[in-house]
Amino acid sequence: MHVHVVGNACVDTMFRVGRFPAAGETLNASSYADGLGGKGANQSVAAARTGAAVTFWTALGKDRAGAWIRSRLDRELSDLEASEFDLPSDRSTIVIEASGENFIVSGVACSEAFDPIAQTALARRIAFGDILVCQGNLRAAAINACLRAARQNGARTVLNASPIDAAALPDFGLAQVLVVNQSEAKALTGQGDMAAAADALAAKGAGTVVVTLGAEGCLVLGPDQAGPRRLPAPRVEALDTSGAGDVFCGCLAGGLAKGMSVISALKFALAAAAIAVTRPGTLISCPSASEMAALID
C-alpha cells in the first residue's frame, strides 16, 4: 500500500530575537537559518521514515528556493512529484522571541496555484487500498478534488485540517480519518470539550475523528461512532513541540499503509511524536528510519 501526501513545501527562515520589534523598528536577530518546511513536506518525510512507500505531490516555483527545496526533499524521498510554476516558491518568515512566542508570515503563491487533480497524474496513480493524506494549506477545492479522486479509486483518505480557513473549509465528509488539534477542534465546532467537539466533527461527515491533545495524547471517535477513546502519549521531557503534529500525521499514514489498524497506527504515531518533542526543531526532530523501525518491532 502506497502513501500519497499532497501538500505544501516551503523555505522556513527562522529568526531568533530577544523581543519582537515595534512597528517601524529594525532589529538584528541573535541567530537565523533556513530550513525545509511546510506541513506537506514534514508529513511526507515522517511517512517515508516509517518505511512506507511514499509519493509527495507538491508545488514549487521555478526559482532558487524551489531548487533548494527540491534538493532537500530528494535526500529524504524516493518519489517526489513537484509541479513547477512561474511563481515565487512558498516561504515563511518565523520570528521567535526569547519568551518562546513567535509570529509567522507566509507567502503561499505556489500552494494557491496548485490543483493536483488538474495538473498532475495523481488521480491515475492512486490505487485501491492506498492512503491519501492532505492538509489545509492548499485551496479547499483542490483538497476536495484530491479526496474525491482517492475515494473513487478505493483509497483511504486522511485529512489533517490544519491550518484552517473558516471561510473555505474542505468537505470533512470526504475524510475517512480527520485529524485536528485542540484549538482547531474548538475553532471548527465552538466546543471546548474535546469529546463534544469530536462528536460535532463526526456529524460533519468524517469517518474517524482524531483530536490530538498535546502531552495528553489523542482522542479518537470512530469508525462508526465507536468511542470516544483516549490514547495516552508516552510521558517525556518535552523540549520543543513544533512539528509534532506533522510527525503524528505522517506516522499515522505510514502505519496504515503498513497494514496497522487505525488504533495501532495512532499508538505508533503517539510514540513517534513523543520522540520528536524531546528534540529541538521541526523536521530535524522527526525520528529517523531506524528509530521508527524500532518502534514498530
Contact set with ligand ATP (CB under 6 A): 181, 212-215, 217-218, 233, 236, 238, 241-246, 248, 270, 273-274, 277
Helix (H) or strand (E) holding 293: helix 289-296
Distance CA 198, CA 181 (A): 11
Please say whether the beta carbons of 282 and 12 come within 8 A.
yes
Three-state SS across 25-61?
A: CCCCCCEEEEEEECHHHHHHHHHHHCCCEEEEEEEEE
Number of residue whose CB is nearest ligand ATP: 245
Smallest gap from Cβ 165 to ligand ATP, in A, equals: 16
User: Nearest distance from residue 181's CB to ligand ATP, in Å?
Assistant: 4
Given the complex with ligand ATP, which of 141 and 294 has the nearer CB atom?
Answer: 294
Classified as helix, coil or strand, 9 is: coil
Q: Which is nearer to ligand ATP, 137 or 242 (CB)?
A: 242
By C-beta, is 120 or 189 nearer to ligand ATP? 189
Q: How far is the CB of 139 from ligand ATP (least distance, A)?
A: 21
Q: Which residues contact 248 (CB under 8 A, 6 or more apart)?
A: 179, 212, 218, 269, 270, 272, 273
Minimal distance, residue 192 CB to ligand ATP, in Å: 15
Cβ distance to ligand ATP smaller for residue 44 or 242: 242
What whole-number distance in Å separates Cα of residue 29 and Cα of residue 276? 26
Of 90 and 184, nearer to ligand ATP (C-beta) is: 184
How far is the C-alpha of 138 from the C-alpha of 142, rounded, in Å? 6
> Shortest gap between Cβ of 234 and ligand ATP (angstroms)?
6
